[in-house]
Amino acid sequence: MADKYTDFVSRGWGRDLAKRLGLPQPVALRRYEPGAPLVPGPVLLIGAGAGADALETALKGWDVEVVRDPAVVPADGGTHDAGASPASSASPAASAGSGRGGAAKLGGIVLALDTVARPEDLSAPILAAGRALRSLAPNARVVTVSRRSSTADEPALAAARAGVDGILRSLAKELRSGATGNGILLAEGVGADAPSALGALRFLLSGRSAFVDGQFVTVGTAKGERPGDPEKPLAGKVAVVTGAARGIGAAIARTLARDGAKVVVVDVPAAGDALAKVANEVRGTALQLDITKPEAGERILEHALGRHGALDILVHNAGVTRDKLLANMDAWRWDSVIAVNIAAQLRINDALLGSGRLGEGFRIVSVASTSGIAGNRGQTNYAASKAGVIGMVRSTAARLAPIGGTANAVAPGFIETEMTAKIPFATREVARRLNSLQQGGLPLDVAEAIAFLASDAAGGISGNVLRVCGQNLVGQ
pLDDT reading at 315 higher than 70: yes
For the purposes of burial, counting CB atoms within 10 Å of the CB of 460, is it exposed (0-12), middle (13-18) or buried (19 or more)? Answer: buried
Q: What's the mean pLDDT in 364-375?
A: 95
Query: Region 367-375: what's the mean pLDDT?
Result: 94
The pLDDT of residue 7: 77
Give the 3-state secondary structure of residue 392: helix
What is the average pLDDT across 127-131?
Answer: 97
What CATH homologous superfamily does 35-219 map to?
NAD(P)-binding Rossmann-like Domain (3.40.50.720)
Identify the pLDDT of residue 19. Answer: 81
- Report whether pLDDT(97) > 70: no
Q: Specify the pLDDT at position 2.
A: 64
Mean of pLDDT over the chain:
91
Question: Does pLDDT of 84 surpass 60?
Answer: no
Q: How confident is the model at residue 90 (pLDDT cuts 50, 70, 90)?
A: very low
Mean pLDDT confidence for 141-151: 95
Q: How far is CA 70 from CA 21, 43, 80, 313, 446, in A?
A: 35, 11, 10, 42, 34
- The pLDDT score that the predictor gives to residue 99 is 41
In the prediction, which pLDDT does 96 show?
43
How confident is the model at residue 473, as a pLDDT? Answer: 59
Q: What percent of the chain has pLDDT over 90?
A: 80
Stretch 372-379: mean pLDDT, rounded?
92
Q: Output Rg (C-alpha) for the chain, integer angstroms.
A: 22
Choose the weakest-confidence range: 74-83, 308-317, 345-354.
Answer: 74-83
Q: Catalytic: 5?
A: no
- Banded model confidence at residue 103, pLDDT cuts 50, 70, 90: low
In terms of pLDDT, which residue wins out, 300 or 81? 300
What average pLDDT does this structure show over 258-281? 98
The domain defined by 238-468 carries CATH number 3.40.50.620:
no
Alpha helices, H only, 12-69: 12-21, 50-61
pLDDT tops 70 at residue 330: yes
Mean pLDDT along residues 142-161: 95
Between these two residues, 78 and 366, which has the higher pLDDT value?
A: 366
352-to-280, 297, 457 alpha-carbon distances in Å:
26, 6, 23
For residues 108-127, give the mean pLDDT.
Answer: 98
Least confident of 6-20, 39-53, 171-185, 321-335: 6-20
pLDDT (tens digit per residue) in 5-30: 777 777 788 778 878 887 788 889 99
Mean pLDDT of 263-270: 98
- What percent of the chain lies above the pLDDT cut of 70? 93
Question: Is the predicted pLDDT of residue 474 greater than 50, yes or no?
Answer: no
Q: Which pLDDT score is estimated for 220?
A: 97
If one counts every other C-beta atom within 10 angstroms of the C-beta of residue 7, the result is: 12
Which pLDDT does position 91 carry in this prediction?
40
pLDDT, average across residues 386-399: 97
Q: What is the pLDDT of residue 1?
A: 57
How many C-beta neighbours within 10 Å does residue 39 have?
27
Considering the candidates 382, 400, 450, 467, report the single residue annotated as catalytic: 382
Once rounded to an integer, what is the mean pLDDT over residues 319-335? Answer: 96
Query: Which residue type does 56 have?
Result: E
Alpha helices in 92-213 (DSSP H): 123-132, 155-172, 195-205
Domain with CATH 3.40.50.720 in the chain: 35-219, 238-468
**Among residues 51, 49, 87, 50, which one has the least CA distance to residue 67?**
87
